[in-house]
Amino acid sequence: MSKRMSIFSRSWCQSVVVIATAAMLFCCSRSPRTVDEVIDRNTQAMGGQQVIEAVHSIAIDLHIVDPSFAVDGSYRATRPGKMRIDVNADGKQVFTEAFDGRRGWEWKGKGRTTVAATAKATAALRHGAELPGHLYGLHELRQRGHRIELIGREKIEGTDYYALRLTLDDGYTTTLYVDPKSWLISRRRDVRPLHVDIDPTPTMIEQRMSDFRQVAGVWFSFANTETDLKTGKVLETTTVRAITVNPEIDDAIFEEF
């Protein structure tokens, strides 16, 4: 009896493992039906919740090309949402803009005088720090007061993306496109000006993210292109030269000097 029970127990345990494994594989292979499932797939693809939330600061070295100029940029940001970008041309710093957590400010390359950013420019700086891909994962946005909805599938250039409408707590709305193969956000579309203080005219802009590479366990895009969807004109391309996760950043750099 004891031997038969032992065989039965092993057989029962093996059956449970097989059933559990099959259920897990079924769940992973089944197409997501809810926004939570899409968010979970993206979170796992990005490196996992624990790894993403371990990013407390970030430094990104950039090369930015617009139709009429090319510059280098140094972008730095920290939780809970401060950021600064310094722009250099021909090895000389020519522009700085930052968001200190409450206000935005700019330095336009001369003297030691800074100016307050406009309300729209301040909002744009804050949005850049809040959107997933730098400091935060998609799964963290609700707890920061933002809203995410699955609005369906949308086929673009042969890929049937999951389209997520993200509404930030100040009302700003954008659509994020999750690739069903990689589960990474590889496109974003919204109506906005590219550089609000240079030309405030809004247009439908598509940002395409590619060349994903893993840094400190998290997948980041190293190539970005912004295109005016109405005209097809490429507005800006950005190439990431290096990303450093959790560098030591003095909080004072976000304050006006």
What is the pTM assigned to this prediction?
Answer: 0.86
Helix and strand element counts for the chain (H, E): 4, 13
DSSP tag of 216 = T
- Cα separation, 32 vs 48, whole angstroms: 18
pLDDT digits (tens, 9 = 90+) for 206-229: 999 999 999 999 999 999 999 999
* Cis bond before residue 200 (omega within 30° of 0): no
For the chain, give the percent of residues with pLDDT over 90: 81
- Cα separation, 226 vs 245, whole angstroms: 25
Average pLDDT, the chain: 90
pLDDT digits (tens, 9 = 90+) for 71-129: 999 999 999 999 999 999 999 999 999 999 999 999 999 888 999 999 999 999 999 99
What token pair was written down for 230?
């109405």
Place of tokens 């796992």: 44
Sign of the dihedral defined by the CA atoms of residues 133, 137, 138, 142, in that order: negative
The answer to whether domain 35-254 has CATH 2.130.10.30 is no
Asked which of 5-14, 105-114, 171-180 is least confident by mean pLDDT, the reply is 5-14
- C-alpha distances out from residue 91 to 54, 72, 94, 238, Å: 33, 8, 9, 18
- Cα separation, 30 vs 27, whole angstroms: 5
Nearest one of 46, 39, 52, 28 to 164, comparing CA atoms: 39
Place of tokens 């031997």: 3
Nearest one of 222, 207, 52, 56 to 139, comparing CA atoms: 52
